[in-house]
Amino acid sequence: MSTATVAEPVISLTPSAAEQVKSMLANEKDSAGKSLRVYVEKGGCSGMQYGMVFDEQRDGDTADEFYGVSVLTDAISADLLRGCVIDFKDELTGGGFKISNPNAKQSCGCGKSFEA
């Protein structure tokens, strides 16, 4: 019996978010074989904003997989995103990807930026 511990993922995807990402990957021929990169950059109305793009793995990235979707995070973003859950709601009003970040001191009304 092994006593090795499995590291907690930096970010988690819900099943609905994973399905949406798979659908987007299937519709973008240039993104075939790429992973979902989730990152943080300066900007937005609260100081930091979330970004998502299809990308290839780089040195220093953390890679996790959820429901068949590979998720990449760079080392700097990982500190700000640790414990985040990404969900997707297919709704006319307020739909889209939603990021729940336990590290955010404050989030803006649009949910796309936060204060670390």
Look at residue 50 in the predicted model and tell me its pLDDT.
Answer: 86
Q: Which token pair is 75?
A: 């080392």
Look at residue 101 in the predicted model and tell me its pLDDT.
Answer: 85
SS3 at position 62? strand
CATH class of 11-105: mainly beta
With 0-12 CB in 10 A as exposed, 13-18 as middle and 19+ as buried, what is 12? middle
CB 103 within 8 A of CB 37: no
CA 22 to chain CA mean position, Å:
14
Look at residue 94 in the predicted model and tell me its pLDDT.
Answer: 72
Q: Which token pair is 66?
A: 């959820």
Q: Which token pair is 46?
A: 């609260």
Kindly give the parts of the chain with pLDDT less than 70.
Answer: 1-6, 44-46, 105-116
Look at residue 107 in the predicted model and tell me its pLDDT.
Answer: 59
pTM: 0.80
User: How far apart are alpha carbons 68 and 37 in whole angstroms?
Assistant: 14
Query: What residue spans define the domains of the chain?
Result: 11-105
Look at residue 114 in the predicted model and tell me its pLDDT.
Answer: 47
Look at residue 18 in the predicted model and tell me its pLDDT.
Answer: 96
Look at residue 109 in the predicted model and tell me its pLDDT.
Answer: 52
Look at residue 2 in the predicted model and tell me its pLDDT.
Answer: 46
